[in-house]
Amino acid sequence: MAERAPQLSVVIPAHNEEKNIGRTVGELGEALERAGIDYEIVVVVDAESADGTGVVADELAAANPAITVVHRVGVGGFGRAVRAGLRVFRGDAVAIVMADSSDDPEDVVRCYRKLEDGYDCVFGSRFRRGSNTTGYPMQKLIVNRIVNRLIQLLFWTRMNDLTNAFKVYRREVIEACGPYSSSHFNLTIEMSLSALIRRYHIAEIPINWYGRSWGASNLSIVEMGRRYLSVLLKLFFERILIGDDILEERFALPGQGDRRLQEPRPGPRTTGRSLGEPREPDASREDGND
C-alpha cells in the first residue's frame, strides 16, 4: 500500500545555517501541527555548506519522521538547492521557506489556508499593507522596489514582491511550470513568473519578515543582477511571443481539458487530508491591492 502523501511539503534550502536551521524547522513544525496540517519538511543542505548544517539537519530528521534531509554534492547555489527539494517533495502543495528564520511559520499556515480557498499559488509580500518587515537593508530595499516595479510594468501585474522566495504552490503548478533551470536566487522569479504567464489563480498576501538572527546573507546585488535580467527577459519574451503556445499546453494537461479561459471563482475551503481534485482551469486573477 502506497504511503499517504502529506498535505503540505516545505522545502528549506540551507547553506551555512548551523545556528538557524534548528529554530527554523522546530518553529515551523510546531505551527503546522497546531494548525492540523499534515506536513513534511525537506531540508536541502547545499553542496558548499562549510559548517555543521548537515549534522544539525540529520539530528532533526532522526527525531522527527516528518523531516527529510537532502545532502547535495557538486556546485552550490540557492536555486540548485530548491530544485533538488522540488524533485523529491511528496505533498499536494509545496512551500519555499528560508532557513534563516526570516519567514514567519504562521504565514506558511495562512498561505496554505488560501490554497484551500481555491487558489493555485499564494505569494508572500513584504511590502503590502499589513506586512511587517524588520531589518531589511536600505540598499537592498531600494533595489528590490526598482526591480519589482519593473516586473509589474513588464508583466502587467499588481503583485509587488515577486522576487521574494517565500511562496506556496499546488503540485500541479510545479509540474506544469518546470523543470526550472535557475541556479541561484533568480529561481524566485523563474517560479513566480512562470506561474503568472500561465494564468494560474494567484493570491498575494502580506507577510512578516524578520532580519537574520545570525550570520550574513550571501546575496550579492551586483552579481545577481545579470542572472535576474536573464530570467526576466526570457519569460517576458515567452509571454509576448509564445504565450498562446504556453497556455495551450497548460490547458491540455490531463484533468484540465480543452476549455476557454474564464473568470476564476475560488472554491470552498476543503476539509480533510488533501487539497482535493484540481479546480476548473481559469484565468489568473490577482488577489491583493497595492
**Cell 544539525 maps to which residue?**
56
Q: Which of 108, 246, 115 is nearest to 165 (CA)?
A: 108
Q: Please report the pLDDT score of residue 77 as a whole number.
A: 95
Classify residue 268: in a domain, yes or no. Answer: no
223 is a domain residue: yes
**Residue whose C-alpha is closest to residue 100's, from 221, 12, 11:** 12
Asked whether residue 286 is domain-assigned, the answer is: no
Reduced to 3 states (helix: H, G, I; strand: E, B; else coil), residue 44 is: strand
pLDDT, tens digit only, all 290 positions of the chain: 557 889 999 999 999 999 999 999 999 999 999 999 999 999 999 998 999 999 999 999 999 999 999 999 999 999 999 999 999 999 999 999 999 999 999 999 999 999 999 999 999 999 999 999 999 989 889 999 999 999 999 999 999 999 999 999 999 999 999 999 999 999 999 999 999 999 999 999 999 999 864 444 555 777 788 999 999 999 999 999 999 999 999 998 765 543 333 334 444 444 444 675 444 434 344 565 44
Strands, DSSP E only, in the chain? 8-14, 39-45, 67-71, 93-96, 121-125, 132-134, 167-170, 202-206, 208-210
Q: Is residue 95 part of a domain?
A: yes
First to last CA, the chain: 48
SS3 212: coil
Spatial CB neighbours of 150, under 8 Å, sequence gap ≥ 6: 232
Range of the domain at 183: 8-251
DSSP 189-225: HHHHHHHHHTT--EEEEE-EEE--SSS-----HHHHH
- What backbone phi and psi angles, to 5 degrees, belong to 91? -75, 170
Task: Tell me how crowded residue 238 is: count the other CB atoms within 10 A of its CB.
Answer: 15
In a domain, 127, yes or no: yes
Q: What is the DSSP letter of 70?
A: E
pTM of this prediction exceeds 0.85 = yes
CATH of the domain at 28: 3.90.550.10
Number of structural domains found in the chain? 1
For residue 172, how many C-alpha atoms fall within 13 Å in the half-sphere facing its CB?
Answer: 20
Do residues 99 and 20 make contact, with C-beta atoms less than 8 angstroms apart? Answer: yes
C-alpha distance from residue 46 to each of 2, 49, 83, 133, 210 (Å): 30, 6, 11, 27, 22
**Is residue 118 domain-resident?**
yes
User: Cα separation of 160 and 145, whole Å?
Assistant: 8
Of 171, 205, 177, residue with least CA distance to 7: 171
